[in-house]
């Protein structure tokens, strides 16, 4: 069988709607195949379990129901990505200004604004297109094949060719490719963790269940996207494609509303404020001018100048480039981000909800400890490594303890259905992860199951019983293999025994409480001894102590039997406990420490039991002592059903155990209502709703299901939890840079606005022409803003608490700073303008040129006022940014060209200001810089 990786998502999901809108036959309204016997389902779907479907029946069903493909999230078209670039209040404001310019025949200004909008759209389009295509490539599925019974033969076909009423044939390691009703099963266990979040495989059987049975307990059903870990089965296909449970979840996630990111919300609010500010000022100026009897055309020209001055044309471009640069930097660190604005949202994250398995731990069960009645033995080596050592507290194991350990290893290896397979990278396994861990333990001790079974053949198995919570296998002792391959049993005398005199080893493993109840003796230091209630209670107490240490405990026992009919779970001899651990990922503890320093809470949500969750929490630093609260998932109720005490209890707890998908949604909503920006990590189908609900959904790229990836905003290609630390730091730095250049641009724009407003109210000629303002906004302002947009992060970026969810890009403190800097620049420009126009008698055109250049250079020097308050004068984020100096050089060159280049100076209506004019420009333009440096030196850090 051609199989995908173990965590593959079942089948190809290229969009291919059914040729008709009909449902699968067992999915008609009211039909619940888990309530029907398998014989009745076969009869209802008119299929013979011996022959399967014929070719003509397959074609008829495919024509009726379509291909077995999910109706996946539609690919974003290039057109939709392009249109998205124009959905911004600031872009809309620019378009209004452009339309107004064209309406009053100011074609040059209107064209320039349109060019700005187009450049911004192109940058955003290219960047988001690359990110979108990378995400789509990440969850594009490989072709998956499956075995199906057709025309009395088992055929290997592509999974997408399955049709309702097909009978699929499954073995351990196979992925289920459609929803099926079990019609045959032998020792069948299935990994349904992508649906239920339960880490352990589920036993399946043929008996029907009640109509209201939840999905996790429909033991007679197999679901698309799950994997067979043990045994074999045949399943009757009852639903394909979008009608499967996986298809329904995929469709619901696709139809869910997209959450607007905090940055999008903040930029929208900023754009709205600018619109009202612009409208208010324009109305005041135009009405006051008309009341004073000024010319209407002059007022229209002034209104256009005010509109151009009020709108920060460079802001969308600079914001887009800053975010795009962050996306590219993250991509180099194996982090894919689907939307530009999601980059910044990471920086405001205050709560991270994460699963345990595979994120904080390695998702590889490892036997780390064996305890026999003799002593405890530690085992080194983790995961699928076959290298390891066995040591006790003293460093050596005495012969009697070694014999006890050998018995535990032997029984653990025999009572086992997993298989290890050699690969180019080492070892892989098929079957139950816990059983594979037992085989790995055996291999570390030099015990190979195939060799052991060859000497002690398995002749009977009592499959794991979910009620008894035990499994047993019967093995012949000292078998003799005849020439024809038959097994004869040799007694102690060396004579061949009759069947009723044969000897068997019964190997048993299971839950400690169940195995201990079935034991009559234990392998003590002085040989086999009777197990009384006192000994049994002592062993149970020890089991609880080991479980508290975070170990998953299995009890191992055995006995000798003289008949296969002898009951397996009576009069057993207890051999010892085997402790398994899913080791914490090496980087998890450092990542959680970094988040704590950054004021970000990490909350672990796991389906495991409370002791295991507590132990993992202690090992990775989520909690500091064993007394800290760990809550059961059942305590997470919808926020509206909680009282004040209940809310506080949930909001202050860092670890939750036995959590289901609905409870994850409740907890995320509770924290969001409490004002938190919530990130959620996940990899399974059951995580998709929570990934969608969170402000930032983070999926795992290597083991994540397609539905989880599609629901997320960010994908960790290396599944490395510490990558989120880097992403948060980038997000915070990007927000700081956005705030810095917005602060810079708005203070520049306010100064332009105030210069025109005050000059208009004073009744002078306009100190600045509309095209001159546009030149400043699109050329000389934008380069320093670009430089500010790529500032490196400050040293204490990850030692500051996260911003509040309602904190604006520009706070009250920043608005006061914008007003202060704007007025300072305004008065410097008006001082130079009035001096040139009056006492120095330089003429109208030269005075306007001096005002233009004074404003331009004042804005250039103003970039140094963007250093963080309290930082050093010569060494800070601005002065050490090489791009700032490059930007200043470019701008000075462009201003010289605007003054002396014939064509450009003519368009801008500028002239040579002369030596005295340059002295006036330089002196006046330095005043705002001096004021700003004094403020930055004495102001308190934010």
The catalytic residue positions are 355
CA distances from 344 to 121, 181, 320 (A): 19, 47, 11
CA distances from 262 to 277, 738, 788, 810 (A): 22, 13, 21, 13
> What are the φ and ψ backbone dihedral angles of 510, each rounded to 5 degrees?
170, -170
Q: From the DSSP assignment, how many helices (H) and strands (E) are in the chain?
A: 30, 29
Q: Which residues of 697-708 are buried (b: 16+ CB within 10 A; e: fewer)?
A: bbbbbebbbbbb
Handedness of CA 193, 196, 197, 203 (dihedral sign): negative
CA distances from 464 to 201, 473, 543, 893 (A): 11, 10, 21, 81
Question: Strands 519-524 and 572-581: what pairing?
Answer: parallel
Q: Which of 379, 364, 448, 383 is nearest to 414 (CA)?
A: 448
* Residue 546: its H or E element: helix 533-548
Gap between the terminal Cα atoms of the chain = 62
Q: Which of 679, 368, 424 is nearest to 546 (CA)?
A: 368
Q: Which of 572, 569, 568 is nearest to 558 (CA)?
A: 572
Residues for the chain: how many in total? 942
Query: Which residues neighbour 433 within 8 Å (Cβ) at sequence distance 6 or greater?
Result: 229, 364, 365
> What are the φ and ψ backbone dihedral angles of 496, each rounded to 5 degrees?
-70, 130
| β-bridge mates for residue 559, sequence order | 506
Please compute Rg for the chain using Cα positions.
36
Per the structure block, which two tokens stand in for 97? 């200004």
| β-bridge mates for residue 426, sequence order | 423
Q: Which of 210, 172, 215 is nearest to 193 (CA)?
A: 215
CA distances from 308 to 130, 773, 924 (A): 33, 7, 24
Q: What is the DSSP string of 657-709?
A: ES--HHHHHHHHHHHHHTT--EEEEE-SGGGHHHHHHSSEEEEETTT--HHHH
Asked if 848 contacts 915 with a C-beta cutoff of 8 angstroms, the reply is no
Q: Could you tell me what percentage of the chain is helix, strand and coil, using 3-state DSSP and rounding each to the nearest 5?
A: 50, 15, 35
Strand, helix or coil for residue 638: coil
Per the structure block, which two tokens stand in for 938? 């004495």
* Residue 650: its H or E element: helix 644-651
For 169, half-sphere exposure in the C-beta direction (CA atoms, 13 angstrom radius) is: 15
Asked if 489 contacts 503 with a C-beta cutoff of 8 angstroms, the reply is yes
For 899, half-sphere exposure in the C-beta direction (CA atoms, 13 angstrom radius) is: 23
Query: Which residues neighbour 843 within 8 Å (Cβ) at sequence distance 6 or greater?
Result: none
* Residue 474: its H or E element: strand 470-476
Asked if 1 contacts 156 with a C-beta cutoff of 8 angstroms, the reply is yes
Within 10 angstroms of residue 156's Cβ, the number of other Cβ atoms is 11
Handedness of CA 233, 237, 238, 241 (dihedral sign): positive
Per the structure block, which two tokens stand in for 449? 């199951």
Q: What is the DSSP string of 372-403?
A: -SS-EEEE---TT-----EE-TTS---HHHHH
């Amino acid at each position: 069988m051609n199989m995908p990786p173990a965590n593959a998502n079942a089948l190809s999901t290229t969009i291919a709607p059914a040729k008709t809108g009909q449902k699968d036959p067992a999915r008609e309204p009211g039909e619940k195949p888990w309530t029907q016997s398998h014989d009745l389902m076969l009869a209802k779907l008119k299929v013979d379990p011996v022959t399967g479907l014929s070719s003509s029946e397959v074609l008829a069903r495919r024509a009726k129901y379509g291909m077995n493909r999910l109706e996946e999230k539609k690919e974003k078209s290039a057109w939709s990505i392009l249109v998205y670039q124009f959905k911004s209040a600031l872009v809309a404001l620019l378009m209004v200004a452009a339309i107004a310019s064209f309406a009053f025949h100011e074609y040059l200004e209107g064209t320039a604004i349109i060019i700005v909008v187009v450049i911004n759209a192109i940058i955003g389009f290219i960047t988001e297109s690359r990110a979108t295509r990378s995400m789509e490539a990440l969850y594009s599925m490989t072709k998956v094949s499956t075995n199906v019974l057709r025309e009395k033969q088992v055929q290997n076909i592509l999974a997408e060719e399955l049709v309702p009423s097909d009978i699929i044939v499954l073995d351990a390691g196979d992925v289920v490719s459609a929803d099926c009703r079990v019609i045959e099963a032998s020792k069948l266990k299935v990994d349904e963790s992508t649906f239920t979040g339960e880490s352990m495989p589920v036993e399946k059987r043929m008996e029907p269940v009640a109509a209201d049975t939840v999905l996790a307990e429909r033991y007679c059903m197999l679901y698309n996207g799950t994997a067979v870990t043990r045994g074999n089965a045949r399943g009757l296909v009852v639903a394909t494609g979008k009608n499967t449970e996986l298809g329904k979840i995929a469709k619901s996630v696709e139809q869910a509303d997209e959450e607007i990111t905090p940055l999008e919300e903040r930029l929208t609010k900023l754009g709205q404020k600018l619109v009202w500010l612009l409208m208010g000022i324009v109305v005041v100026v135009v009405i006051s001018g008309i009341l004073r009897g000024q010319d209407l055309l002059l007022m229209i020209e002034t209104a256009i100048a005010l509109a151009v001055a009020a709108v920060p044309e460079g802001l969308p471009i600079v914001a887009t480039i800053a975010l795009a640069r962050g996306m590219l930097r993250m991509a180099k660190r194996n982090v894919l981000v689907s939307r530009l604005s999601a980059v910044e949202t990471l920086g405001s994250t205050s709560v991270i909800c994460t699963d345990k398995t595979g994120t904080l731990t390695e998702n590889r069960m490892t036997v780390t400890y064996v305890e026999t009645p003799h002593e405890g033995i530690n085992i080194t080596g983790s995961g699928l490594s076959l290298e390891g050592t066995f040591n006790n507290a003293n460093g050596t194991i005495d012969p009697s303890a070694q014999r006890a350990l050998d018995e535990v290893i032997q029984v653990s290896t025999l009572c086992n259905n997993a298989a290890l397979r050699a690969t180019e990278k080492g070892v892989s396994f098929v079957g139950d992860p816990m059983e594979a861990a037992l085989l790995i333990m055996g291999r570390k001790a030099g015990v190979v199951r195939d060799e052991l079974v060859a000497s002690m053949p398995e002749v009977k198995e009592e499959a794991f019983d979910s009620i008894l919570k035990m499994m047993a296998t019967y093995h012949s002792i000292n078998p003799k293999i005849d020439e024809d391959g038959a097994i004869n049993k040799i007694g102690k005398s060396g004579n061949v025994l009759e069947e009723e005199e044969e000897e068997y080893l019964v190997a048993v493993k299971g839950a400690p409480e169940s195995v201990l109840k079935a034991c009559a003796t234990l392998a003590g230091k002085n040989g086999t001894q009777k197990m009384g209630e006192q000994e049994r209670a002592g062993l149970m107490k020890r089991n609880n102590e080991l479980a508290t240490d975070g170990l998953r405990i299995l009890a191992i026992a055995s006995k000798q039997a003289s008949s296969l009919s002898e009951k397996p779970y009576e009069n057993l001899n207890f051999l010892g406990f085997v402790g398994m651990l899913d080791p914490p990922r090496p980087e998890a503890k450092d990542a959680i420490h970094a988040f704590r320093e950054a004021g970000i809470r990490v909350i672990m949500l796991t389906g495991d039991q409370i002791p295991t969750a507590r132990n993992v929490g202690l090992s990775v630093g989520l909690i500091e002592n064993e007394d800290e609260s760990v809550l059961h998932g059942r305590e997470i109720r919808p926020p509206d059903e909680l009282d004040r005490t209940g809310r506080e209890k949930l909001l202050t707890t860092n670890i939750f155990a036995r959590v289901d998908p609905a409870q994850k949604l409740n907890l995320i909503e509770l924290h969001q209502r409490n004002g938190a920006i919530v990130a959620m990590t996940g990899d399974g189908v059951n995580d998709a709703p929570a990934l969608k609900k969170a402000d930032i959904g983070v999926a795992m790229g290597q083991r994540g299901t397609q539905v989880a990836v599609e629901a997320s905003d960010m994908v960790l290609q290396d599944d490395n939890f510490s990558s989120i630390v880097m992403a948060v730091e980038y997000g915070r730095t990007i927000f700081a840079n956005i705030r810095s250049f917005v602060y810079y641009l708005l203070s520049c724009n306010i100064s332009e606005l105030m210069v025109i407003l005050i000059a208009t109210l004073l009744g002078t000629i306009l100190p600045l022409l509309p095209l001159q303002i546009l030149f400043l906004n699109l050329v000389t302002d934008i380069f320093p803003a670009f430089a500010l947009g790529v500032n490196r992060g400050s040293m204490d970026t990850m030692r500051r608490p996260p911003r509040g969810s309602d904190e604006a890009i520009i706070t009250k403190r920043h608005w006061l700073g914008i007003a202060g800097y704007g007025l300072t620049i305004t008065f410097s420009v008006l001082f130079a303008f009035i001096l040139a126009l009056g006492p120095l008698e330089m003429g109208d055109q030269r005075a306007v040129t001096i005002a233009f250049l004074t404003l331009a250079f004042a804005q250039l020097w103003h970039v140094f006022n963007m250093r963080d308050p309290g930082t050093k004068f010569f060494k800070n984020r601005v002065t050490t940014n090489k791009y700032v100096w490059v930007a200043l050089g470019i701008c000075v060159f462009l201003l010289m060209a605007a003054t002396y280049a014939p064509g450009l100076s003519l368009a801008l209506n500028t002239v040579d200001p002369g030596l005295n004019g340059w002295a006036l420009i330089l002196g006046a333009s330095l005043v705002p810089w001096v004021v700003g440096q004094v403020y930055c030196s004495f102001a308190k850090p934010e």
